[in-house]
Amino acid sequence: MSGVDAFAPGFEVPLHRSLTEPILLGGSPRTVAIANGTTAAAVGLGLQLWLLGVVLWIVGHALAVWGAKLDPQFMQVFTLHIKHKSLLDV
């Protein structure tokens, strides 16, 4: 016996794929998709700029999908980046 089998026999827990994959809506992270849709709806309905709302939604969703293809957790990384101050800035 070697490796994991010798460590703790009988203690195995199945790890489902849904616990490790990010939650995406249409290819973009769920929070980004909801915020983007809400912003586009506010511009389209509230300001009655329908075309601008649709364009804003399409561009925002395309950017979110592109970012999620590069790194599915890009929003968490971005928020941490914004929170921390730069090391070399005075």
* pLDDT tens-place values along the chain, 90 residues long: 555 556 677 777 788 888 888 889 999 999 999 999 999 999 999 999 999 999 999 999 999 999 999 998 999 898 998 898 877 766
Q: What is the structure's pLDDT at 17?
A: 87
What token pair was written down for 43?
Answer: 């511009």
Per-residue model confidence (pLDDT) at position 15 = 84
Question: Residue 15 contacts by C-beta under 8 Å, 6 or more apart in sequence?
Answer: none
Q: Are 52 and 43 contacting, i.e. CB atoms less than 8 angstroms apart?
A: yes
Measured between alpha carbons, how far is residue 9 from residues 15, 16, 72 in Å?
Answer: 17, 20, 34
Up-side HSE of residue 49: CA atoms within 13 Å toward CB?
A: 10
Domain boundaries, the chain: 23-83
CA distance 78 to 85: 13
pTM of the model: 0.73
